[in-house]
Amino acid sequence: MQLVGSEVSVAQCMMSKITRSDQLSDNNLLKNIELFDNLSLRFNGRVLFIKDVIGDEICCWSFYGQSRKLAEVCCTSIVYAMEKKQTKVEFPEARIYEETLNVLLYETPRVLDNSLLEATSCSCSQAALSEGDEGFELRDRVQCIHVKRYSTYDDRQIGH
């Protein structure tokens, strides 16, 4: 899969039907399909999910970010039993979740709206206002929280 110049993170799942399989492998293949559907709904707009049903792989997940392949999770194993070779499908749910979250590290940062930046800025410092003879002071009680974003490669701030 070629993603030249792509800014979006991609999760691709290649699936095809097993010719000879057992009930457990069929159930695990269905679990992989269900997980793919759930993740594509959960991360819609943040990660592009592609289901490839034409390929040769029985079940294999590939994760891409910044136009390069980051990880691959193969769900098949070959088992030799009773003088015949069988292909088993596994369901490595934790590993698939881990790689999906890792690919989010490569997503393009969203541009913030100027009105949001102005509303959350610390330009209005704690000014004191007094009302008449009572000496009532009204202080700004909004505490500003600064969040620093760092790239995954070094400690330089992004966008500064």
DSSP 98-159: HHHHHHHTTSPPPPPPHHHHHHT-S-S----EEEGGGTEEE---PPP-----B-SSSSPBTT
Mean pLDDT, rounded, of the chain: 75
How large is the average pLDDT for residues 45-57?
A: 89
pLDDT at 139 over 50: no
pTM of the predicted structure, to 2 decimals: 0.63
pLDDT at 154 over 70: no
pLDDT at 121 over 50: yes
When pLDDT is cut at 50, 70 and 90, the band that residue 71 belongs to is very high
Q: Which of 9, 4, 5, 1 is closest to 109 using CA atoms? A: 9
pLDDT at position 149 is 45
User: Are 123 and 137 contacting, i.e. CB atoms less than 8 angstroms apart?
Assistant: no
